Homo-oligomer: A and B are copies of this chain.
């Protein structure tokens, strides 16, 4: 993770960019997810060496947002006029799994609303099509990675709270945790 300095989080502070947490065989890591709109017909393009489960996660986030557009102040007709591209940097590293779901949703919602993501916020969690947030694994490693990278708030499923309780409190001093049940709570916290 030495590729990113704190300075990165400032430059990241533009709509469409969210910070996720990944669990790799060398421990936890942070993961940027970038979404960008362009003129088009509603196509969803995914890059960044993503596996099928992670691609399905993005597709689920996209369908949820489209079906709940009005609730989040998004003009529903925009989905037939724009293409959306989601990219996860560091293309040399294969990435997979459902745990980036909340991050992908936040990135998409940020891009479509034009509202930025709260700075220094990281998140992890699977999402379902009806708007639930499900618990994921590797919480300890992810939280420590977020701490090392200088992040200040972490959002996850309320069913993962027990995993945070098991971490030595000295290691996570200064981190604020958000435990959520559904996507509306995610976006209430994530979108500035």
A-side residues, CB < 8 A to B, are 3, 8, 11-12, 14, 16-17, 32, 34-39, 45, 47-49, 52-53, 56-57, 59-60, 63-64, 66-67, 76, 79-80, 85, 87, 89-92, 97-98, 101, 126, 128-130, 132, 134-135, 159, 181-182
Contact = CB atoms under 8 A, between A and B. Distances in A.
Nearest to A42: B40
A89 B132 CA distance: 10
A60 to B, nearest CB: 5
Nearest to A128: B89
Nearest to A37: B67
Contact of A76 (B17, B39, B80, B135): B39
A17 B129 CA distance: 9
Interface of A is mostly: mixed
A80 B152 CA distance: 42
Contacts of A98: 90-92
Contacts of A76: 39
Given A89-B132, A126-B89, A132-B11, A47 B56 contact: yes
Contact of A3 (B79, B130, B134): B134
Given A11-B182, A47-B56, 20 more contacts: A11-B132, A16-B130, A34-B128, A35-B129, A36-B130, A38-B67, A45-B59, A49-B52, A53-B91, A53-B92, A56-B87, A60-B87, A63-B85, A63-B87, A85-B129, A87-B129, A89-B128, A90-B98, A92-B98, A92-B126
